Amino acid sequence: MLLAYGGGSIKKNGIYDTILEQFSKAGLAFAELSGIQPNPRIESVEEGIKLYRENGCDFILAVGGGSTLDACKAIAAGVKYDGPASDLFVNESGVSPIVAAAPLATILTMAGTGSELDMGAVITVGEDHKKKVVMHPLLNPRFSILDPEYTYTVPEHHSMAGVADILCHLMEQYFTPDANAKVQDRMNEGVMKVVLEDAPKILANPKDYDARANIMWASSMALAGFQFVLGKPMFPFPLHGMGHELSSKYDMTHGVTLALLTPAWMRHTMSAAPEHLPVFARFARNVLDIREEDDAKAAEDGVKKLRAFYSAIKMPANLREAGVKEEDLEVMAEKAVENGNLGILTSIGKDEALQIMRAAF
């Protein structure tokens, strides 16, 4: 077995000791991969592949947040692949080269990415720290243990960034051309409402079991099988495409990048594609309880209320406040679309990405 974890939070909060106790009771031998960083690097994946092979492992247990889980998914694919780990990414046409993977299970210690219940991973690679996707159904964890108490010690910044990530996964699937996918959309709205309601409870009391449990389950539900986008066209998530560039350039926390860009992206889309205003108005009414009959006004009130939520959960107000330099925007906009335009309500190329980033600045 390969036991993998991040920078050591599991040693401070006792989860590591609990696991080792169980391993000892079960007589399980294991090798350890530690030090997986947020925005995990391909070097950790390579180290994990080597350790797995050298120690004759047959199973991977990932303990941590999305970064550890993602690195382990790439390791699971890498140990069954006879070539460099950098070959494992999904190509420009969305095709995955993966044909086999080692079995993987997870113990989730922070809510946000949904990696515990999905088949994807995001790995940082190369000198420009590009974030690339590894994806295959074989990478779905065999099981994931979700104990809300394990998330009590997550620092406030990361707890709230996780909330922003969950919300964005739900929004990326919601803001699609209206396909009359009522079940998907009403379920999605319900989960979004829970996230908005319970995030402030965690801020007030990090040991609020019910709030931690609801946010943790929302994290898993948000991306599970892309259930909220079923029946709708699949497309590159625009906010994630742009947000990853902020992480590449500044090593910024994933969820924070999304909170920073979302209001600007909403306003851009509402103005570039006014035919989709009803979707934004419906979001404002059904999720944010805006009572306004005019679609354009309701949609704008929705953006304002969402911004107020981000500020209540202590996300930075704009890119400048988050430490971004204006002169970097153009390169980031270019890189965000280097594998093709993003989005579906509007097509986002370099110019549009730059407009959105400038508006978020």
Q: How far is the CB of 340 from ligand NZQ (least distance, A)?
A: 18
**Which three-class secondary structure state does DSSP give residue 116?**
helix
Q: How far is the CB of 165 from Zn ion (least distance, A)?
A: 4
**Which three-class secondary structure state does DSSP give residue 98?**
coil
Q: Nearer to ligand NZQ by C-beta: 89 or 299?
A: 89
Q: How far is the CB of 238 from ligand NZQ (least distance, A)?
A: 13
What residues contact 180, with CB distance under 8 A and at least 6 apart?
Answer: none
In the region spanning residues 83 to 112, those forming contacts with ligand NZQ, defined by CB under 6 A, are 109-110, 112
SS3 content of the chain, % helix, strand, coil (to 5): 55, 10, 35
**Distance from the Cα of residue 316 to its chain's centroid:** 18
Site string for ligand NZQ, 19-48 (x = CB under 6 A): -------------------xxx--------
Angle value at C-alpha 127, between 126 and 133, nearest 5 degrees: 30
Contact of 257 with 243, CB cutoff 8 Å: yes
Q: Which does 116 bind (CB under 5 to 8 A by kind): Zn ion, ligand NZQ, none?
A: none
Interface residue with Zn ion among 47, 116, 118, 165 (CB under 5 A) is: 165
Q: How far is the CB of 150 from ligand NZQ (least distance, A)?
A: 6
- Looking at the DSSP bridge assignments, the partners of residue 60 are 2, 104
Structure tokens at 305: 């209320």
Contact of 59 with 102, CB cutoff 8 Å: yes
Is position 154 an interface residue for ligand NZQ (rule: CB under 6 A)? yes
Using CB under 5 A as the binding criterion, the count of chain residues that bind Zn ion stands at 1
Contact of 341 with 348, CB cutoff 8 Å: yes
Q: Nearer to ligand NZQ by C-beta: 7 or 316?
A: 7
Is position 6 an interface residue for ligand NZQ (rule: CB under 6 A)? yes
**Which three-class secondary structure state does DSSP give residue 303?**
helix
Using CA atoms in the order 281, 282, 285, 291, what is the torsion angle rounded to 10 degrees? Answer: 50
Q: Nearer to ligand NZQ by C-beta: 124 or 286?
A: 124
In the region spanning residues 213 to 232, those forming contacts with ligand NZQ, defined by CB under 6 A, are 223
Is position 67 an interface residue for ligand NZQ (rule: CB under 6 A)? yes
Q: How far is the CB of 9 from ligand NZQ (least distance, A)?
A: 3
Q: Which does 6 bind (CB under 5 to 8 A by kind): Zn ion, ligand NZQ, none?
A: ligand NZQ
Is position 241 an interface residue for ligand NZQ (rule: CB under 6 A)? no
Q: How far is the CB of 63 from ligand NZQ (least distance, A)?
A: 8
Determine the residue type at 91: N
Contact of 249 with 330, CB cutoff 8 Å: no
Of all residues in the shown chain, the one whose CB is closest to Zn ion is: 165
**Angle, helices 238-250/329-336, rounded to nearest 10 degrees:** 130
Q: How far is the CB of 43 from ligand NZQ (least distance, A)?
A: 14
CA distance 46 to 57: 15
Q: How far is the CB of 259 from ligand NZQ (least distance, A)?
A: 12
Is position 184 an interface residue for ligand NZQ (rule: CB under 6 A)? no
**Which three-class secondary structure state does DSSP give residue 335?**
helix
What residues contact 341, with CB distance under 8 A and at least 6 apart?
Answer: 347, 348, 349
Using CB under 6 A as the binding criterion, the count of chain residues that bind ligand NZQ stands at 37
Q: Which does 13 bind (CB under 5 to 8 A by kind): ligand NZQ, Zn ion, none?
A: ligand NZQ
Give contact residues for Zn ion (rule: CB under 5 A): 165
The residues that touch ligand NZQ, with contacts defined as CB under 6 A, are 6-9, 13, 38-40, 64-68, 70, 109-110, 112-115, 118, 120-122, 131, 150-151, 153-155, 158, 162, 165, 223, 240, 254-255
